Structure 1
Amino acid sequence: MGSVGIDFILQAAVGLLVITAPFDPVKLLFFNQTVTARGMGRTGGALRLTLYVTVILAIAALVGKEALTAMGINLDAFGAVGGLVIALMGFEMLYSGGASQAQGERQREEGPESGDGLLIPLAIPMIAGPGAITTMITFSSQNTSWAGLGAMATAIAAVAIVTFGFYRYMGSLLARMKPTTVAIMARLGGLILATLGFQMLLAGIGNFYG
């Protein structure tokens, strides 16, 4: 494809925002624990976290497709399987009312580790985890033009802006959200994610069979 429409850009941005879920209040609590334990300022911690997430997603968008091609994996087939994985993650969020295992739910429950807790496990896998990486590769494989690359850059920029803005400015407000509210938001995000994943699955199947 030589060009992309606004719908593709919006799907990429919304899908990536939902699957990374940087605005998750529980992840914010993890962030607060980490910056406090490491003696970091909130601004510096938010900038570092945003940089980590941006680099991880950018590498997935730029290198992931080429890596699949080098391994002889059909991009349309990967897009279909990636859509299925994303849809399953959405269903897991929909029924559990929380993050999926691919979004780092287990690491989040275990709490901060030694070392730079902003990189591991907060940036990866809790925010830019396997699900987000799969999403980036899947969307980039659906459009290999410069316009498609621009759409990926727009999606990554949206995640970066939301990540920094939330952890720097909105944290104290949203951290006080009730667990039931968090669960409702997770289920709504899961429904959106499942729908996008199913659309990507159908698109990959359609492209594969021409």
Structure 2
Amino acid sequence: MELNFKDILSISLVMFSVIDIIGSLPIILSMKQKGIKIQARKASIVSFVIMVIFLFTGVKLLSLFGVDVGSFAVAGSIVIFLLGLEMILGIHLFRDEPESTSSSIVPIAFPLIAGAGALTTILALKSQYNNINILIGIAINIALVYLVLRFSGWIEKKIGSNGIEVLRKVFGIILLAIAIRLFKENWFM
């Protein structure tokens, strides 16, 4: 277990792009307008637990199906690529989950934060980085998620809807580049 701050930064950026909590602000704000109470701490803790469990048991789960991490990383890179396209082009390739009027677990913690993209990315990252660096990257992102959930109204006022859209497109381009790199590095394993 070796801490590598460059790896932690790379992992954090990848996870931030995939989780796309800034890009999810319109969804979060819409939920608040509908009277759905979002508990930032609860959603963040549950998301963190889901991601950590998947970090440590995801490979075993895949082995039950006869899939190795490299193959999962290639599949994950395709999903990440499509998520990037969604963000850049403003289209919806994936079906949105129905909105819930219940707690912050569904749909905030899962699938908005710790959704298929984040879980796929965790296993794709696992093929390249140490678990401790991934764990720290996840923790950094959950802290950012908490802050965004907690101060979503303030962020909306400061950035504005155009600023949120620009950030979404920038992170979409980053996701495309990351997806291509993951594909290249795992396709030829």
Distance 1:173 1:84 in 2: 34
* Counterpart secondary structure, 2:127: helix
Query: Contact 2:72/2:120 (CA < 8 Å) preserved in 1?
Result: no
The alpha-carbon deviation at position 180 of structure 1 amounts to: 2.5
Paired amino acid for 1:163: V
- Alignment correspondent of 2:167: 185
Distance 1:160 1:47 in 2: 10
Distance 2:3 2:73 in 1: 17
- Alignment correspondent of 2:96: 106
| Poorly superposed stretches of 4+, deviation over 4 Å | 2-5
Distance 1:9 1:125 in 2: 24
Deviations, residues 179-202 of structure 1 (Å, cap 9, x unaligned): 332221111110011111111111
1:28 aligns with 2:18: no
The alpha-carbon deviation at position 37 of structure 1 amounts to: 4.0
1:1-210 alignment, distance < 5 Å: 5-24=4-23, 25-30=25-30, 32-33=32-33, 36-38=35-37, 45-96=39-90, 102=94, 106-107=96-97, 112-116=99-103, 118-143=104-129, 148-168=130-150, 170-176=151-157, 177-206=159-188, 208=189
Distance 1:31 1:151 in 2: 33
Deviations, residues 26-78 of structure 1 (Å, cap 9, x unaligned): 143145347x545xxx7xx1110111110111122111112112322122122
Deviations, residues 67-106 of structure 1 (Å, cap 9, x unaligned): 112322122122122112212211221111x7x555xx72
Paired amino acid for 1:139: L
Q: State the aligned residue count.
A: 187
The alpha-carbon deviation at position 20 of structure 1 amounts to: 0.8
Query: Contact 1:31/1:122 (CA < 8 Å) preserved in 2?
Result: no
Query: Contact 1:65/1:140 (CA < 8 Å) preserved in 2?
Result: no
Distance 1:154 1:101 in 2: 30
| Structure 1 portions without partners, runs of 5+ | none
| Structure 2 portions without partners, runs of 5+ | none
Distance 2:125 2:42 in 1: 26
Paired amino acid for 1:92: E
Structure 2 length-normalised TM: 0.86
* Counterpart secondary structure, 1:22: coil
Structure 1 length-normalised TM: 0.78
Distance 1:142 1:136 in 2: 10
Deviations, residues 154-210 of structure 1 (Å, cap 9, x unaligned): 111111110112222x3232223433322211111100111111111111013x2xx
Distance 1:27 1:87 in 2: 22
* Counterpart secondary structure, 1:106: coil
For the structure 1 residues 67 and 142, does the alpha-carbon distance in structure 2 shift closer, same or farther, using more than 3 Å as the test? farther
